[in-house]
Structure 1
Amino acid sequence: MNVGQGNCSLKTAFGFSFAHRLVAAASGSFDESGHEQLVVGTETGKICLQGSESVFHVNDKINFLSVYKHNRKIKEQSIKSSDNSENDIVIIGTNNSLMAFDVFNNKTIFHREITEGVNFIKIGNIDEYKNENVIICGCGTTIWGFQLDGKDLFWTALGDQINVLELCDMDGDGLNEVLKNASFFAEFDEGDPTLAIIAIKPATFAFGLSSGVVGVYGQGERLWRVKTKSRIVSLLSFPDQNHVACVWQNAKIDIRSVSTGEIRTKDQLEGGELSIAFLVDLAGVGPLDSGEEQPQLTLVFKNGQGF
C-alpha cells in the first residue's frame, strides 16, 4: 500500500496470492533480475517463492523468516553459493533449528540445531560487529548471534522469553544496540509481553504489547502510550521517520505521529487475519530521484492473500 498525496490517505498499489496458509513472510532479490520477491513459510512447513513453482520442504514448524540481502551498501562478509552468485539468502527459524537457504540454487547454506527453537530473527550490525551483518536470534530465553556461514559469534542468556528483537542506536555513538522485549541496553518495563518493536531513529523506538497497548520512547522517556482492543502484528516507520504505522491482526492500520501518537490516517482491510506486515517495493516503483527508497506497506494474510 502507498500513502496518497495531500490528505495522507492509503491506497492499494498491488495484490498477490499464495495457495497456502501462511505463518511467515519476508522479501528479497533471489535471481538475476534484481526484482524484489516475496518468500513465505506455510503452516505445513514449506518455503514458497512468489512467481515460482519451486517449493522447499522444512521438516519442522516454521516460526520466522528473514532475508540476508547481498546488496547492502556497506562492505561485509557474504554468503556465496557454489556458482559465486550473490542472490539474497533466506534465513529460516523453526521449533528446533536455524537454516540459511539459497532459493535460486535450491541449496542449503547451513543448518544449526537450536534446542530452544528460533522465535525471532534480526539481521544487522552491532557494536564490535559494525563492519559486517550478523544473524541475531531470539531462541527461547537466549539471544544468539551467528556469522553468515552459521558459526557462533555470541550468546547471552536472559531470564525472560524473547518475543521480538530490534537494533537501535540508543546512546548516539553510531553503533546499534540490541532491544529485547523493549529492554536490554536499558530497562523499559511496560508490564505485558512485547509483540512488536521498531527503531525509528537514534534513541527512539515504538513498541506494541500483547494487551493492545502501543507507544513510543524517545531519549529514554515515554512520549506517549495508547490502549486499543486489537492485537498488534507489526510496527513500521512509514511513510517517514515522523510517523509509525501500527498494523493490527484484524487488518486495521493506523498511521500515527511519532511525537504525539495522533492518528494521521487509518484504514480497515478485508481479508481475514494478518500474518505479518513489512516494507518492500514489490510494485517496482523504484527509488526517488534522490536515490532514497520508497517501499510500500505490504500486508500478508494467513489465508495466503496480500496487498
Structure 2
Amino acid sequence: PKPKPNLFSNLDYLMLSLRPDFSYGLSHHIVPGCARFGKIDETGESKLIAATATNKVGEIIIHDNETVLNINEKIRALEVTTLNKTHDVIIVGTVSGVLVYDVYNNTALIQRELIDGINCIEVGKFNTYDKIIFCGGNCAVWGLDIEGKDAFWTVTGDNVLSLCLSDVDNDGNNEV
C-alpha cells in the first residue's frame, strides 16, 4: 500500500524558511507586556515604545528617538493610542496611578492617583464614549474619559490582570 503523506512536512518546510527581515535589541530589561508601537511625532513613523524597570523607578524608552521619559514609580502597564489628535499618546500605569503623556507636545494630559495602582490598561469605545481608558487594579476597574474624569468604576473579587473590550452580546455596544 502507498504510504500516507505527512501532513506536517510542508508546514515544517514553511517554518524553516521563515527568516526575520530585521532585528534589534534594547540594552534594558523590559517590563513584561510593556512594549508597543506608536506614532508619537511629526514624522508619522511608528516607533518602539517600551517600559523598563530598575528597582523602584521606571523609564519609557522610545527607540530611534533619543527620548527617555523618567517615571519615578514602578511601571506595571503601558498602552499607546490616539485620543483626539493626529499623533499617539503614551498611557503609563504605575503602582499608584495612571499618566497619559503627549510626547509630541511634551505634556502630561492626565495624571490620576489610583490608590491600588494599575495592573493593566485597555482603551476603546464604551457606551456613549468614543474613547475610554480602562485601568485594572487591585480589586477594581476604573474607566477614565479623555479628560481624566471618572466615567466608570466597579469592584471585582480579585486583582485585575487583563482587560478586553468586546461586543459579547452582539448589541452594537462593547462590554468589559
Counterpart of 1:33 (choices 19, 38, 43) is: 43
1:159: which partner in 2?
A: 157
Q: For 1:168, what is the secondary structure of its paired residue?
A: coil
Larger radius of gyration: 2
1:226-259 per-residue CA deviation (whole Å, 9 max, x = no partner) reads xxxxxxxxxxxxxxxxxxxxxxxxxxxxxxxxxx
1:242-261 aligned within 5 A: none
Counterpart of 2:26 (choices 8, 11, 18) is: 18
Could you tell me how far 1:139 is from its partner in structure 2?
1.4
TM-score normalized with structure 1 length: 0.49
| Alignment pair present for 1:63 and 2:76 | yes
1:140-151 aligned within 5 A: 140-151=138-149
2:92: which partner in 1?
A: 92
Contact 2:137 2:161 in 1 (8 A): no
Q: Number of matched residues?
A: 158
1:298: which partner in 2?
A: none
Counterpart of 1:47 (choices 17, 36, 60) is: 60
C-alpha distance in 2 between matches for 1:33 and 1:40: 19
Higher relative contact order (CA 8 A, sep 6+): 1
1:1-307 aligned within 5 A: 7=11, 9=15, 10-23=18-31, 24-44=34-54, 45-69=58-82, 78=84, 86-129=86-129, 132-178=130-176
Could you tell me how far 1:105 is from its partner in structure 2?
2.6
Could you tell me how far 1:47 is from its partner in structure 2?
0.9
Task: Give % identity.
Answer: 37
Q: For 1:159, what is the secondary structure of its paired residue?
A: strand
Could you tell me how far 1:13 is from its partner in structure 2?
3.1
Could you tell me how far 1:11 is from its partner in structure 2?
3.5
One-letter identity of the residue aligned with 1:143: V
Q: For 1:154, what is the secondary structure of its paired residue?
A: strand
One-letter identity of the residue aligned with 1:12: P
One-letter identity of the residue aligned with 2:22: F
One-letter identity of the residue aligned with 1:111: Q
Q: For structure 2, list consecutive stretches of 5 or more residues without a partner in the other structure.
A: 1-9
1:255-289 per-residue CA deviation (whole Å, 9 max, x = no partner) reads xxxxxxxxxxxxxxxxxxxxxxxxxxxxxxxxxxx
Could you tell me how far 1:35 is from its partner in structure 2?
1.4
C-alpha distance in 2 between matches for 1:17 and 1:104: 24
4+ residue segments displaced more than 3 Å: 6-11
